[in-house]
Amino acid sequence: MAGKVKWVTDIEKSVLINNFEKRGWVQVTENEDWNFYWMSVQTIRNVFSVETGYRLSDDQIVNHFPNHYELTRKDLMVKNIKRYRKELEKEGSPLAEKDENGKYLYLDFVPVTYMLPADYNLFVEEFRKSPSSTWIMKPCGKAQGKGIFLINKLSQIKKWSRDSKTSSFVSQSTKEAYVISLYINNPLLIGGRKFDLRLYVLVSTYRPLRCYMYKLGFCRFCTVKYTPSTSELDNMFVHLTNVAIQKHGEDYNHIHGGKWTVNNLRLYLESTRGKEVTSKLFDEIHWIIVQSLKAVAVNASPSLTSSTANDRILKYNLINDTLNIAVPNGEIPDCKWNKSPPKEVLGNYEILYDEELAQGDGADRELRSRPGQSLGPKGGRSRDSGRTVLTTWK
């Protein structure tokens, strides 16, 4: 038993257990000494609650940062990103630069969003500026598309309020919190359908921030072609990509699950939009991920449920590569070990951001580079000859 990693999990998923067992690790119970505990979100909350005051030993690690909800809850994510932008403004950071209309040049990646019921009056004021716009409402603490709906009239909000058994937006304690965001009504479509991206990011440490992007992410497609028509606002097969929604659609394919690999997406975009535009897009996606992590200094909670055979293979390999980074050489964890693992053990991960490396290269590395656009000597934007500028913020 000595020298073997002792593991616990309260999530009975084969992609986890098979990875633990193939390493020769020893399963124990949560009441015994353990080194690695893959916890559900609820267990994380219970174990690391203020009441318990639980602290990890130097030889223990878990799969979540205790304050992961600062990123995974929709309302807290928006709050943290807004706060992060304000802090950068106060510091005079070039990242917080705005254009003549007051729009962030580098941090404008969150649509106009309010919390309901708290921000109801602010929302109404904004709604009346563009009364023909469409908004999407999402419950803050739910997943898999539950409770999401679209509105384009204030009367629909009032109906929601009545249906939620509260007569006034003043009474907030009896009402579930929602976020309401301006709906992106001209999304990028493939085959006429909406899609989203499921990307996996491993955060191994926050001090310094070090994170890895998994190369084998995927896209999830709607089963019904997109239309901005108000007559289809209630058709979630048009608007939401969640598998929990789409699997009930008539055209859902249970073999491939309505999914594409990110590599296939990239090839498609390169063939239809060009390599330069595609590279810029993925660079900006990486930029958003890093800035979001910096805004909350947390981890996310990806689903480990497999809807297809390819899903199962992907998630098994994802867990395998994650464990190779989080538990180097399969040895008992040591909190004092804080080095970047060698490239050969990363598997399908690639380093996305390493704060220790970035700190040695000055503030200019904090700004993403764009094709044909780079930082001038005073933090302003200067045009070059149109060549692609290498990514410099990593």
Q: What is the pLDDT of residue 392?
A: 37
pTM: 0.78
Residue of 68, 108, 70, 115 lying closest to 88 (CA atoms): 108
CA 155 to chain centre: 32
* Separation between Cα atoms, residue 19 and residue 378, nearest integer Å: 50
Q: What is the pLDDT of residue 158?
A: 83
Q: What does each C-alpha distance from 6 to 21, 28, 172 come to in angstroms?
A: 11, 6, 45
Q: What is the pLDDT of residue 165?
A: 55
Q: What is the pLDDT of residue 328?
A: 85
* Separation between Cα atoms, residue 256 and residue 31, nearest integer Å: 41
* Separation between Cα atoms, residue 390 and residue 150, nearest integer Å: 40
* Whole-angstrom Cα Rg for the chain: 23
The full 3-state SS of 218-281, as one line of letters, equals: EEEECCCCCCCCHHHCCCHHHHCCCHHHHCCCCCCCCCCCCEEEHHHHHHHHHHHHCHHHHHHH
Average pLDDT score, the chain? 83
3-state secondary structure of 58: coil
Contact indicator for 54, 30 with CB cutoff of 8 Å: no
C-alpha dihedral sign at 288, 43, 220, 115: negative
> Per-residue pLDDT tens for 31-59?
999 999 999 988 988 888 877 878 889 99
Q: Which residues of the chain have pLDDT under 50?
A: 1, 166-174, 299-301, 363-394
* Nearby residues of 24 by Cβ (< 8 Å), 6 or more positions away: 4, 330
Q: What is the pLDDT of residue 67?
A: 81
Measure the CA dihedral 76/80/86/90, to 10°.
140
Write the single-letter amino acid at 393: W
3-state secondary structure of 215: coil
Residue of 59, 8, 53 lying closest to 30 (CA atoms): 8
Strand 6-9 and strand 36-38: pairing? Answer: parallel
Q: What is the pLDDT of residue 369?
A: 44
